[in-house]
Chain A
Amino acid sequence: MASSPASPPLSVVPDAYGRFGKFGGRYVPETLSAALDQLERSYAEAVADPTFAAELDSLLSAFVGRPTPLLFAKRLTKLAGGAQIWLKREDLSHTGAHKINNTLGQGLLAIRMGKRRIIAETGAGQHGVATATACARFGLECVVYMGAEDVRRQAPNVRNMRLMGAEVRPVESGSRTLRDAINEAMRDWMGSVETTHYIIGSVVGPHPFPRIVRDFQSVIGRETIEMSRKQFGRLPDTVVACVGGGSNAAGMFYPFVDHPGVRLVGVEAGGRSGDPGHHAASLSYGSPGILHGSLSYVLQDADGQTADVHSVSAGLDYPGVGPEHSYWHDMGRVEYTSVTDLEALDAFDMVARHEGILPALETSHALAWAAREAATRSPDEIIVVCLSGRGDKDAAEIARLRGLTADGSHPS
């Protein structure tokens, strides 16, 4: 029993109905209800089973390469001219992003449930690659839905998924981006739910997905806490991560939410401007609504139709956000802000040239904010950035946007 009548710690969510405060829940067609109940039961059993954690930990170590390092960004810090910037190197994970933490966990759950076919959606392709990777490792059939626009702008990841035996199905409906890929994956699942597990890639969707994905990604924040203590003897002052659906941010922030001294900042895609249709910043500009099975902040019109969104980054190009982020937003625990396409592209260049790291365009949003913020802070302060993924996938698209030739040189 709780010893104090005061409100419970912020980390004690969700409740039995998948609620984070008022957000979350399960708004899905009845066809999916039984599978979500099964997933919830199976996850509870897995959490209680030490062999599950042991198997996942062993994979995270030998297959993914965890723990990922916490690196002092020396030249970036000098360039910014203020607080120390440290980078949590999720880009060094196998497959080049944090997404693999979740796909291995959910892949093991699928096996426990006796489901041998996996479907997934992907935006930037990082989750698709991580799903294809887990499926290859476990011997599971894999189908990935990807918006046709994203198939074009993230071509290297499409190739990698196919090389690992996954089927990539381009989605031509709607805006041909992440949102439509989720719709199509859900529709597949409506007809295949008895034999198929849907590995959702972010902390979105119906209960219990937001909780499961957060838990599998929380290894990021746990390692960051441990390494911070070891490497600089205390917790960081500020922790920052980019937020589309919000999985790397949720995994980074969750272990920190009950440490009130640590400032947490989520950076959304500010796109071209704050005008409707020109950004993908759900928490900055949206309102509570229901999308893809849960109640959260959504970019929508007066009737509740989902709005069109834009971001240079395919992984942030999404009109919703995970319900736990909406909860943290409304509780005032995490600050959410946004960074424009151009600021993110500049941050990409800056980190590439000063640190020798090509960050993903998604991550570049968090880096842009960190560099700007560091300049206003004292050198005693420490900012940790979740460097959620590597940017090789973006190199060709960045060259195209910059008017460079395919080999990165200026056209003569």
Chain B
Amino acid sequence: MTSATTAKPIDKLEAMFAANRAAGRKVLAPFVTAGDPDLDATVDVLTTIAEAGASLCELGVPYSDPIADGPVIQASYTRALDKGLTLEGVFSAAKQASDRTSMPILAMASYSLVFRRGIDRFVADAVAVGLAGFVVPDLPIEESDDLDAACRQAGLALVRLVTPTTPPDRAEAIAKKSTGFLYCVSVAGVTGARTQLPDGLVDRIRWLKTKTDVPILVGFGISSPDQVKAVCEVADGAIVGSALVRRVAEHAGQPREAMLTGVRRFVTDLAAACR
């Protein structure tokens, strides 16, 4: 049994939020697709974004049928799977990255993958490779009791999502269950860069802040430093996904260093907007 003094995976996440709060900074949380263009590159991208000012990373675990994802992330998943990516590979890349950086890494994984491997095994693997927790985008609160119990037992964060279509009482229930942070989805729709943040987002974040003590990060549709800045006026941080995945993809076929330089530049600019 875990004693009160044993370090839990989620501690790393909570310490990171506390340090940023103390420094008066917001959190930049990029999303990176595991295995695109390959797993070695993914490890390099994770260490590069940490150096460039990312406080947290969501590591996207490719899935064959991602219904919450727009074309950019879908295509990255397809590329990775077409090259024979396996869960073993994803976990091993996560292990290498968490050995090389102290940045907390969360796995963004479809519940289809978690269920197939078995909750206990998936959770044990995550702990063994140093992950801080999960975001499971297709697991609503009604279906999450088993994974929730296993994550609490293992000390992993299980980050929940609220969306613009979530009614207030339901949003409150979701916020109460979320551990690590609460993922506020900015728009009703799939992932992917958008030119404008939706009306009412700021009010929604303000209202959510009155309902939970966990940090609130905003994601979906955020691609520029200006958008990060706008979101961070009220939220505790911003998640940038498709825009970074696209930058990695744009460098396909070029030397690794060129890709990492592009990633570093992009993330540095985004991170500056969190200060």
Contacts and interface: CB of A to CB of B under 8 A. Distances in A.
A303 B166 CA distance: 31
Interface stretch (A76-84, A248-256, A286-294): A286-294
Contacts of A262: none
B261 interface: no
A65 interface: no
Contacts of A295: 115
Contacts of A193: 165, 188
Nearest to B116: A304
A27 B140 contact: yes
Interface centre among B78, B117, B174, B190 (most CB of A within 10 A): B190
Interface string A186-201: 1100110110000000
A25 interface: yes
Interface in A283-329: 289-293, 295, 300, 302-306
Interface string A381-392: 000000000000
Given A26-B143, A27-B143, A303-B116, A291 B65 contact: yes
B83 interface: no
Contacts, number: 111
Nearest to A17: B142
A337 interface: no
B78 A33 contact: no
Nearest to A186: B67
B116 A173 contact: no
A31 B189 contact: yes
B165 A27 contact: no
A106 to B, nearest CB: 20
Q: Chain B interface mostly helix, strand, loop or mixed? A: loop
Nearest to B81: A305
B189 A191 contact: yes
Interface in B49-70: 63-70
B124 to A, nearest CB: 16
Contact of A305 (B64, B140, B190): B64
Nearest to B115: A290
A28 to B, nearest CB: 6
A397 to B, nearest CB: 26
B65 A187 contact: no
A114 interface: no
A153 B140 CA distance: 37
B65 A30 contact: no
Contacts of B163: 29-31
A186 B161 CA distance: 18
B166 A30 contact: yes
A35 B66 CA distance: 19
A151 B142 CA distance: 37
B84 to A, nearest CB: 11
A17 B115 CA distance: 18
Interface string A18-51: 0000000111111111110000000000000000
Contacts of B138: 27-29, 290, 293
Interface centre among B69, B111, B116, B170 (most CB of A within 10 A): B116
Contacts of B94: none
Nearest to B174: A30
Given A187-B70, A304-B115, A305-B63, A31 B139 contact: no
B112 A290 contact: yes
B105 interface: no
Contact of A291 (B69, B112, B140): B112
Interface residues of A, number: 34
Contacts of A291: 65, 112
A160 interface: no
Contacts of B115: 289-290, 295, 304
Contacts of B262: none
A25 B143 contact: yes
A179 B68 CA distance: 15
A33 B87 contact: no
A183 interface: yes
Interface string B86-123: 11000000000000000000000011110111000000
Contacts of B139: 27
A139 interface: no
A174 interface: yes
Interface centre among B64, B68, B140 (most CB of A within 10 A): B64
Contacts of B187: 191
Contact of B190 (A33, A191, A194, A292): A191
A306 B140 contact: no
Contacts of A292: 65, 67
B47 interface: no
A29 B143 contact: no
B165 A35 contact: yes
Given A30-B166, A173-B74, A190-B190, A304 B113 contact: yes
B35 to A, nearest CB: 12
Contacts of B67: 28-29, 183, 186-187, 190, 292
Given A29-B161, A290-B111, A293-B138, 12 more contacts: A17-B142, A29-B163, A30-B161, A32-B165, A183-B65, A186-B67, A191-B189, A193-B188, A194-B188, A304-B110, A304-B116, A305-B113
A-B interface, 9 closest residue pairs, ranked by CB to CB distance from nearest: A304-B116, A191-B189, A186-B67, A29-B68, A290-B112, A305-B64, A306-B64, A31-B163, A304-B113
